[in-house]
């Protein structure tokens, strides 16, 4: 995976996660200034920062429809019923950035996502 599109309901979260994934992992962050569909189409994978709002849920659904790998970064496992719909499409639900990076690396290398 090279290019990542980040879905979050606040700019600060996107900026912070963008810096980490770009600087520590070498991922290219797809320009969020592009229209969502175009940016998601260009991405190799999508990261959803929980708690998503309706717009973020729509973008995540678009990523699922386009067949993009979706990863989630969440503070808790507690999801409301609307959010649970996305679980079928999420390849990794992480609670911290290190775990998120691990899941993304394992998927990009076609390895099982089980931590040793």
Domain count, the chain: 1
What would the DSSP string read from start to end of 81-114?
Answer: HHHHGGGGGEEEEESSHHHHHHHHHHHHTT----
Question: What pairs with residue 73 in β-bridges?
Answer: 49, 94
Closest Cα to residue 71, out of 34, 33, 25? 25
Domain membership of residue 45 (yes or no) is yes
Q: Which domain holds residue 44?
A: 3-108
Q: How do the pLDDT tens digits run along the chain, 116 residues long?
A: 589 999 887 777 788 889 988 998 889 999 767 778 888 999 999 998 876 677 778 888 889 899 999 888 887 767 666 666 677 677 878 888 888 888 888 887 776 555 54
Domain membership of residue 44 (yes or no) is yes
Domain membership of residue 115 (yes or no) is no
Report the CATH number at residue 71: 3.40.50.450
- Supply the pTM of this predicted model: 0.79
Domain membership of residue 72 (yes or no) is yes
């Amino acid at each position: 995976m090279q290019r990542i599109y980040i879905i979050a309901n606040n700019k600060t979260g996107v900026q912070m996660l963008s810096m980490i994934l770009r600087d520590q992992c070498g991922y290219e962050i797809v320009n969020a200034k592009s229209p969502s569909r175009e940016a998601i189409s260009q991405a190799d994978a999508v990261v959803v920062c929980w708690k998503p709002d309706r717009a973020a849920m729509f973008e995540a659904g678009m990523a699922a429809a386009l067949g993009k790998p979706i990863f989630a970064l969440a503070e808790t496992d507690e999801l409301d019923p609307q959010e649970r719909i996305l679980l079928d499409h999420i390849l990794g639900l992480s609670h911290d950035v290190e775990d998120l990076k691990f899941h993304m690396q394992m998927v990009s290398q076609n390895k099982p996502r089980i931590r040793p």
